[in-house]
Amino acid sequence: MSNSVEDLQMLRLIKAFQKISDQDARRMVVQYVEEQLDKLEAKSRQKRGPPEH
């Protein structure tokens, strides 16, 4: 996917998030994104293996 398409998608997501007025809903969105990031980081750590000292 080109950077311009990704940029437009990111802008759409930001605008959609800004339209959410309910604070609990906003919090749920942020928590979901953080969970997904944690999963991606865990997968990345598994692929690299244990850290070397």
Q: How does pLDDT run across 6-38, given as a tens digit for each residue?
A: 999 999 999 999 999 999 999 999 999 999 999
pTM of the predicted model, to two decimals?
A: 0.70
Q: How many Å apart are CA 43 and CA 53, to the nearest integer?
A: 21
Residue 34 located in a structural domain: yes
Residue 43 pLDDT greater than 70, yes or no: yes
Instruction: Tell me the residue range of the domain where 25 lies.
Output: 2-46
Tokens coding 14: 């930001």
Nearest to 30 by CA among 45, 42, 20: 20
Residue 15 located in a structural domain: yes
Q: Count the domains in the chain.
A: 1
Alpha-carbon distances of 49 from 35, 38, 44, 52, rounded to whole Å: 21, 16, 9, 9
